Amino acid sequence: MRVEPQRGPGGRDDAAGAVFAALADPTRRQVVRALAERETVTASALAGELPVTRQAVAKHLAALGEAGLVAGERAGRETRYRLTPGPLTDAMAWMVDAGARWDERLARLQGRLGG
């Protein structure tokens, strides 16, 4: 699933799809939540508070990285991951575009995602 966050024709859908796929897994959502509160964390530390092994966490972090939601930076012998929630706006734009006609709250957000 190699999806670069590009703005080409259909690129929005790909980016949004990658985000949806990444966030579809509950463990991955827990990872994102933990990352959202600690700002930066290692795979081992994350595995300490989740009911899965470090390798599983590493896989999830890699998956989130593919979607552009997470970036890792090696510092010495540990790798610190941090949240990069930019692609979330692509996913939100997709949803707003799909449902704006039916849901008033969504319609109200129409132009607010661009700037």
Partner DNA sequence: TTCACGCGCAACCCGATGGTTGCACAATAG
Partner DNA sequence: CTATTGTGCAACCATCGGGTTGCGCGTGAA
Residue 78 is a binding residue for DNA (CB under 7 A): yes
- Interaction mask 8-47, a second copy, x per CB under 8 A: -x---x--xx--xx-xx-x--x--xx--x-----------
Nearest to 91, CA basis, from 27, 30, 11, 26 = 11
- Scanning 43-51, 54-62, 73-81, 101-109 for contacts with a second copy by CB under 8 A, the matching segment is 101-109
Distance (Å, rounded) from C-alpha 98 to C-alpha 107? 10
Residue 79 is a binding residue for DNA (CB under 7 A): yes
Q: Token pair for residue 108?
A: 């109200």
Strand partners, 83: 70
CB 108, min distance to a second copy, A = 7
**Helical segments of the chain, H only:** 11-23, 26-38, 43-49, 54-66, 88-99, 104-108
Residues lying near a second copy in the complex (CB under 8 A): 9, 13, 16-17, 20-21, 23-24, 26, 29, 32-33, 36, 83-86, 88-89, 91-92, 94-99, 101-103, 105-106, 108-109, 112-113, 115
